[in-house]
Amino acid sequence: MSNGIFKIPTPANEPGNTYAPGTKERETLKAELTRQSGIVIDIPVIINGENIKTDTVKQVVMPHDHQHVLANYSQAGEKELRDAVEAAMAAKEAWANMAWEHRAAIFLKAADLISGPYRDVMNAATMLGQSKTAVQAEIDSAQELIDFLRFGVDYANQVYQIQPSSMKNVWNRTDYRPLDGFVLAISPFNFTAIGGNLPAAPAMMGNVVVWKPATTSILANYYFMRILEEAGLPKGVINFVPSRGSQVSEVVLTDPRMSGFHFTGSTSTFQTIWKTVGENIANYKSYPRLIGETGGKDFVFAHETAQADKVVANLVRGAFEYQGQKCSAASRAYIPASLWEEVKAGLVAETAKLKVGDVRDFRNFMGAVIDKAAFDSITSYIDYAAASEEAEIIAGGTYDDSVGYFVQPTIIVTTNPNFKTMVEEIFGPVLTIYVYENDQLEETLHAVDTASMYALTGSIFAQDRGAILHLENRLSGAAGNFYINDKPTGAMINQQPFGGSRGSGTNDKAGSVFNMIRWTSPRVIKENFAPTAEVAYPFMDAE
């Protein structure tokens, strides 16, 4: 056994590539996009390190060219899900007992593999499978995923260093054990990085994991699983099981050995899962840790002292990057009447410049929404607004799914601060604006705070410092990530730990020490160097 106290390599946020014309990274990414576009791969279920093909095979297609098949993947059924749980439990003891520095090395190596030889592979898979532009993929499947891994190792190390005080003749220490059973991770389609972090974070802390990726992000998630294997992840520690959510709930979620659940997805799904766990609470061998980040209805509030051009630029980027398919995307805005005409002119002009199309054409600002179900849901909101007397569409409002699931960036103006598109999460390129009278500041702030069930992200724009202080205090409960003079999206690991409360989740701040500590079951050890031989206490010597 080694006896060194090892120093973790100091992490720093991964630098990003620009993919500007003439750069080497643009050339190699374009080549990888061509390569992946020209092949169809088979994606197996991966249990205990074994590749398993099942009788149920589904397709991975490009959202921006939905007749183009990228991969065929095997879908896990009941047998495979039960096998995945057993494989995880069989790997548990050896993984939990592996020296911490060796566990850490696996994830540090995976980060270096993504940063180097697999950067184009991960970015191209994310672009093609999830319809992200080059810059959005770079931020996600390169920079953020790498940061999750490197900073995750550092945060785990910080947790291990949290130790109790001791006194004369007594040494107190804390042993950070993994949870008692296995962890179930269910990841979303919109961020490859989240797909990687949801199983990786618990595994870093010595847990074993059953990982169900979203069916519409399987391509990039599969490549990440292969990178973990190349980095030395032992068999059975993370088991990759594309499957139906309902069957996962029936088979895995209710298994008595499930001790943790790591989730990013819809609020309704998380509530259903919480209910299922509650109904089965007497059957579990331990109380499962439920860690989830769900929806958002994220706001931008402009004060009368805000700079109109800055509000415009950040609204356009915040609302329409990655087609608004971010839980942090700007989806409702409050603009004072005194700024409205200038802001309106800027929004209409800038939105008209945005090109929507195939992400392989680097001139496009937006790609397609993820699938037919999302397309139908998003366009139903646009149709609702178009038919309402309380709303006016001032930009966009059109859509077409004949080739890809394309929705034009749409801006709605409403006279009702509680209008449907101001309240409900849409998860698409739709921004709704309410114009308030300057003397109705407090009433409008009340609407910002109460109109939505969510409290994920929000931003304010103001130049007056007193106004900034007032807005920050007044909206203290409305967002877990609060931005001043910036868009409400684009959180970075180690800079803005991400998560919200109310209907937006458990606010455990993914990519932070707060999240990592949730995956441990601490044991406190007291060692007495001078144990007493006495039974009676001194106070008993007299009446």
Cβ partners under 8 Å of residue 29, min gap 6: 19, 120, 123, 124, 134
Q: Which of 523, 527, 524 is nearest to 169 (CA)?
A: 527
Q: Which of 212, 203, 215, 208 is nearest to 240 (CA)?
A: 212
Show the tokens assigned to 89: 């439990």
Bridge partners, residue 170, by sequence:
167, 528
Cβ partners under 8 Å of residue 363, min gap 6: 355
CA–chain centroid gap for 342, Å, is 35
CA–chain centroid gap for 14, Å, is 18
Q: φ and ψ at 510, to 5 degrees?
A: -55, 145
Q: φ and ψ at 136, to 5 degrees?
A: -65, -40
Assess contact for 19 and 362: CB atoms under 8 A: yes
Residue 139 gets which letter from DSSP?
Answer: I
| Amino acid found at 533 | A
Which amino acids are annotated catalytic?
Answer: 293, 327
Quick check: helix, strand or coil at residue 259? strand
Round to whole Å and give the CA distance between 181 and 329. 36
- Cα distances (Å, whole numbers) of residue 360 to 30, 47, 426, 451: 8, 34, 26, 39
- Cα distances (Å, whole numbers) of residue 31 to 24, 26, 60, 133, 185: 11, 9, 20, 15, 33
Task: Calculate helix-pair angle for 192-204, 100-115, nearest 10 degrees.
Answer: 160
Place of tokens 């390569």: 35
| Amino acid found at 165 | S
Q: Which of 122, 265, 136 is nearest to 188 (CA)?
A: 265
Round to whole Å and give the CA distance between 164 and 174. 7
Round to whole Å and give the CA distance between 354 and 348. 10
| Amino acid found at 18 | T
Round to whole Å and give the CA distance between 122 and 136. 12
| Amino acid found at 391 | A
